[in-house]
Structure 1
Amino acid sequence: MFVNLRISIFVFYFLTVIAFLAISYYFLDVLGVSNFYIYSIVLLCIIILSGIFISKLAIDPLAEYVTNLQNLSKETLHELNLPISTIMTNTQMIKKNLEDEKALKRIGRIESACDMLKQRYNELDYLIKMQSKQNVKEMIELSDLVRERITFLERIYPNKNFNLNLENLSIEIDRVGLSKVIDNLIDNGVKYSQKSQDIDINLQKKTLTIQDYGIGMDEVELLQIYDNFYQSNKHMQGFGIGLSMVKRFCDENKIELSVTSKPTQGTKVSLEF
């Protein structure tokens, strides 16, 4: 598809240049036109028409491709919802009749996997809405959202102690986007504090803070944390895009983001709403 598109644009551009030179030669040498004003108007019309055709050649196939991709994503997303809901419903029913501890642990793992699939489902739904420019902001209770994310992350990191101190705070914001921000920040805190079990999460005076007691960072590392693909520890899993995404979200939603850190003492991230 894109090879043919490149060829079509090149051919049209090549023909446009030849036509431009031929018309210039015809006006200047054959007709002997000396009126620069008329000559300029003719050239401007040619340039505008060629621009319209080139943009149409370039954009229309891409627009059709993106539309088809969005439709496919919506259909796939809709089809995913049913099996996820079916698995979750049936595991809850099976769990009620089980007493064996090992079987209950297995069901718990299935539920955790379903929660992760549901999270990916919500993120895909969110991305589709963002691409179609739908308004995704809603009124939420921030303390409830933090507790919800902690409940989700406790299943992934059962050995961590998440110490909560949360005041109530109602805000209008993109719920899914903020959930991804919170997940990223807590996940970073867990990854970089393997020797410490505690993660402190506070919501006071319209400011959410996430404090870990891990390896921390020096001043040089702090200057690079928002760069795409930067990781202070190359041996950690991940792609180093978390904090750049967090920064972009905060900038778009007028949230003041600050990070303080000291080597061997840990890192504190603050979101001021």
Structure 2
Amino acid sequence: MSSKRRNFLISNSILIAFIVILILVTNYYLVNIFGFNKENFMLITSFLIILAIFLNSFLSKPLLEPLFKSDENLQKTIKETLHELNIPASTIQANVQMLERNIKDEKNIKRLLRIKQATNELLKLYNQMEYEIKKEIDKIDKQRFMLDEIIEHSIEKFEDIKKDIQIEKNLSDIVLYSDKNGFQKVIDNLLSNAIKYNDDKGLIKIEFKNSILGIYNSGKPIDTKNILMIFEQYYQEDSSKKGFGLGLNIVKEFCDKHAIEIKIDSNKAGTTFYLNLNNILK
């Protein structure tokens, strides 16, 4: 347990204990003064509840504020550090692009390519960390984006690992309004699972119809008893597959937050994940 969490629990426990003792003492004196009967029971109880709420509001701020202040300072430091990291990474990327135009030597071109790849990975990490911080403090900006662009971008990511799996898509010009990065993660994870649990020469179908996005894979069906468990953190139906069991948990967390209903249809013909996008359609 971290020291910050321990301090919070200790401070909160002391506050609750103090309020409970004070309320019990107040209750004792009020009962002695007014007696205990049906007429004054609700009056005394209501007074004690209001008093407890007031005391908690009044005393919790000075007691717990230092703990929350340290969190704010930490968030500020991380954001400032991330901003500073973005500047040199972007500078390296820009200069590599300029050097690429003039260098002809094959060995130097390969060195530049490695630098470029490393810089791109660094920028990806920067964007990921920035997104996670914004998500934690509920400051994710919603934006308009095209569904087919998200799907296409996701397919491109897995082009090298899908091997002989065929991917078919039937999408029209659908505009969504939501957290774009978060939705991209949802599609990435669903497509990754469709590839991971598919047959060697299997099929994936991605289709949008009547506000429902369906992602089908022709692999073996999910065991019925595991349907409700697959969204749990760290759960993997097949432990032989690579991964940490986080993908579908990320999908469920995003969909719950943005009121996207998820349904699963799994049988001998394969498995389809259905996402009702009605609440984020624009």
Q: Could you tell me which of 233, 237, 261 is aligned with 1:232?
A: 237
Q: Could you tell me which of 238, 249, 260 is aligned with 1:255?
A: 260
Q: Does 1:121 align with 2:126?
A: yes
Q: Does 1:163 align with 2:164?
A: no
Displacement, 1:137? 1.3
Q: TM-score, normalised by structure 2?
A: 0.72
- Give the 3-state SS of the residue equivalent to 1:234 in structure 2: coil
Counterpart CA distance in 2 for 1:199 and 1:87 is 39
Displacement, 1:68? 1.4
Q: Does 1:245 align with 2:250?
A: yes
Displacement, 1:49? 5.5
Displacement, 1:180? 0.7
* AA at the equivalent of 2:157: F
- Deviation string 1:8-41 (CA, Å, 9 cap, x unpaired) is 555566666666677778888xxx845777x959
- Give the 3-state SS of the residue equivalent to 1:214 in structure 2: coil
Counterpart CA distance in 2 for 1:84 and 1:111 is 10
The match for 2:223 is 218
Q: After the TM superposition, which of the residue ranges 251-260 and 228-237 deviates more from structure 2?
A: 251-260
Write out aligned runs for 1:66-145 (5 A).
66-96=71-101, 97=103, 100=106, 111=116, 113-134=118-139, 136-145=141-150
- Deviation string 1:86-109 (CA, Å, 9 cap, x unpaired) is 343344445444574x87677666
- Give the 3-state SS of the residue equivalent to 1:257 in structure 2: strand
Counterpart CA distance in 1 for 2:263 and 2:172 is 20
- Number of residue-to-residue matches in the alignment: 267
Displacement, 1:243? 1.4
Displacement, 1:140? 1.0
- Deviation string 1:148-192 (CA, Å, 9 cap, x unpaired) is 2333333x6373656343321112121111011011111112222
Q: After the TM superposition, which of the residue ranges 106-115 and 78-87 deviates more from structure 2?
A: 106-115
Counterpart CA distance in 2 for 1:201 and 1:24 is 64
Q: After the TM superposition, which of the residue ranges 60-69 and 202-211 deviates more from structure 2?
A: 202-211
Counterpart CA distance in 1 for 2:119 and 2:105 is 21
Counterpart CA distance in 1 for 2:261 and 2:13 is 47
Displacement, 1:141? 1.3
Counterpart CA distance in 2 for 1:81 and 1:144 is 25
- Give the 3-state SS of the residue equivalent to 1:88 in structure 2: helix
Displacement, 1:267? 2.7
Query: Is the Cα–Cα contact under 8 Å of residues 162 and 201 in structure 1 kept in the other structure?
Result: no
Counterpart CA distance in 2 for 1:209 and 1:235 is 26
- Give the 3-state SS of the residue equivalent to 1:71 in structure 2: helix
Q: Does 1:268 align with 2:272?
A: yes
Write out aligned runs for 1:5-24 (5 A).
6-8=9-11
Displacement, 1:221? 2.5
* AA at the equivalent of 2:214: T
* AA at the equivalent of 2:129: L
* AA at the equivalent of 2:271: T
- Give the 3-state SS of the residue equivalent to 1:59 in structure 2: helix
Displacement, 1:70? 1.4
- Deviation string 1:196-225 (CA, Å, 9 cap, x unpaired) is 365443445544333333344232232322
Q: Does 1:208 align with 2:235?
A: no
RMSD between aligned alpha carbons?
3.8
Displacement, 1:258? 2.5
Counterpart CA distance in 1 for 2:71 and 2:123 is 25
Percent identity reads 33
The match for 1:52 is 57
- Deviation string 1:48-75 (CA, Å, 9 cap, x unpaired) is 5542354225531332122112112211
The match for 2:190 is 185
